[in-house]
Amino acid sequence: MRHFFKKAAGVVTAAALTAGAASADTVEFMNWLGAEETGKDTLAQMVASFDGEVDIQPYAWGDLPKNLFLRARSKTLPDVSQIQGRMLPTFASIGEMVDLNEVIGKEKLQEIFPASFLAMGDIDGKQLALPWIGGTIGWVANMEVLEAAGVAEIPTTVDEFKAALIAVRDNVPNSVPYALATKNNNSILLDYLIWSWTFGSDVIVDGKPMVNGPEGKATLAFLTELVQERMAAPEIDRPDSRRLFAQGASAFYLDAPVARTFARKFSGRDMEIDPAVKPIQGPVLNAGDTPQSIQWGHVIAIFGEENATPDSDAVKFVMHLLSDDVLVDYASNQGVLPTTKNGLASDAINGDAYLKDWAAASVAPRRNTIASLENGGEVAGIIGEEVQSAILGQKTPDQAADDMQARLEAAMAN
């Protein structure tokens, strides 16, 4: 098994954490990485380099949460699972999650991970998961599309952003200037949250919805205008946004740092497209406002009392995934940030201008509080349905905002 860190005074090593003879048990690893074209080969390589047996159990990203809950009910949980960081509070009710503070030690984990990343896996003082890769949901611009449209500067305000979209619409044939998520409630939610914050609406404050104030109505009016004026389009999900962007048909969209990886894949140009993929700060309503983005990352959780020891194969496998060589290769190849102190200090990450730009663009990312609600799925559904009703012209933006408020109040009351 590869070492997590080189032996040195005061430095934790994976070998020290996982000392002991390897068992013949197979580690079941539930994940969505293996279900994605951009990730399955990478995952296979990570598993192949592990000194042990691993059963890769891939699920589509949208299907993994419901299947994890189903397997919890049927008492067939995997040993290890990949989980979206923002979804971890939803899974905290699964009683078989291992508290890694107890297994590995809180102080040892603090030596390995920065506090900001370690917090991704902390629920009420228990370390129910370890951070794997991190970043934000933020903005990317296609510099080639902007050049073709005659847009010389990255827009910094909402007015400048609209002007850039109009230029793309009028000068780049068959384009969707902004690949706004207009399909799939979970995708719509992320764009809606960022635009709501941009317009000054907090959506839910202290458990109460706040979506039909002046700021909330302005948000829906803005999104509706984008679709009606052909600056955005209906029936666009995040995978569609990625393909449009990579194929030179869109100038802007929201994604995690993996945006560059998808651009390489879907463009068919591999690293040749890299100069066109530019992380940017989000447009602000007024100069001096804070650009908005959402905290993002993947965590790894371990299930089962039988795995709650430092020498279990499940713990060994997780520490292998987080070892310097494996983690840095994965993060740099995927265009995301590693979550360990050593990984962040590596030459591969510090020498990557794209990742530096992404970090610089992430001024003050905010947590997606909807995802951690007990009825987060229902809330996301209400928001998605009412956003669609406005952008498709089924309701006025004001009516959609009022209906969203009433429905959210009822949902939150229950």
Q: What percent of the chain has pLDDT over 90?
A: 75
DSSP state of 374: T
Query: What is the residue range of 183's domain?
Result: 136-294+365-413
Q: Are residues 248 and 128 in the same domain?
A: no
CA distance 87 to 194: 18
As a whole-number percent, the residues of the chain with pLDDT over 70 amount to: 94
Tokens standing for residue 353 = 């201008």
List, for residues 176-235, the tens digit of each pLDDT value.
Answer: 999 999 999 999 999 999 999 999 999 998 889 999 999 999 999 999 999 999 999 999
How far apart, in whole angstroms, are the C-alpha atoms of residue 44 and residue 56? 8
CA distance 279 to 363: 12
Task: Answer whether residue 1 is part of any domain.
Answer: no
Instruction: Map residue 413 onto helix, strand or coil.
Output: helix
pLDDT for 20: 36
Residue 296 to residue 223: CA distance in whole angstroms = 23
Tokens of 301: 């959780």
What's the whole-model pTM score?
A: 0.75
> In 10 A of CB 224, how many CB atoms?
21
Digit-coded pLDDT (tens) for 140-175: 999 999 999 999 999 999 999 999 999 999 999 999
Q: Is residue 92 exposed (0-12), middle (13-18) or buried (19+ Cβ within 10 Å)? A: middle
Closest CA to 369 of 218, 192, 178, 180: 192
363 token code pair: 């001024």
- 127 within domain boundaries: yes
| Averaged pLDDT for residues 353-378 | 85
Residue 258 inside a domain? The answer is yes
Numbers of helices and strands, H then E, in the chain: 20, 12
The predicted pLDDT at position 375 comes to: 86
DSSP, collapsed to helix, strand or coil, labels residue 404 as helix
Q: Do 154 and 79 belong together in one domain?
A: no
213 plus 339 within the same structural domain: no
Q: Residue 356: its pLDDT value, please? A: 84
Condensed to tens digits (0 to 9), the pLDDT of residues 288-331 reads 999 999 988 999 999 999 999 999 999 999 999 999 999 999 99
- Whether residue 7 is contained in a domain is answered as no
For residues 212 and 195, membership in a common domain is answered with yes
Residue 6 domain flag: no
The answer to whether residues 264 and 391 belong to one domain is: yes
**Residue 89 shares a structural domain with residue 110:** yes
pLDDT at residue 10 tops 90: no
Determine, yes or no, domain membership for 166: yes
Are residues 199 and 105 part of one domain? no
Chain centre distance of CA 21? 36
**Same domain? 376 vs 356:** no
How many domains does one find in the chain? Answer: 2
Residue-level pLDDT at 89: 83
What's the whole-number mean pLDDT along residues 250-277? 96
Shared-domain flag, residues 353 and 399: no
| 67 and 113 inside one domain | yes
pLDDT value of position 372? 72
Q: What is the DSSP string of 149-161?
A: HT--S---BHHHH
User: What's the pLDDT band for 2 if we cut at 50, 70, 90?
Assistant: very low
**Are 129 and 170 in a shared domain?**
no
CATH number for the domain harbouring residue 252: 3.40.190.10
Q: What is the pLDDT of residue 22?
A: 36
162 with 228, same domain: the answer is yes
Residue 340 lies in a domain: yes
213 within some domain: yes
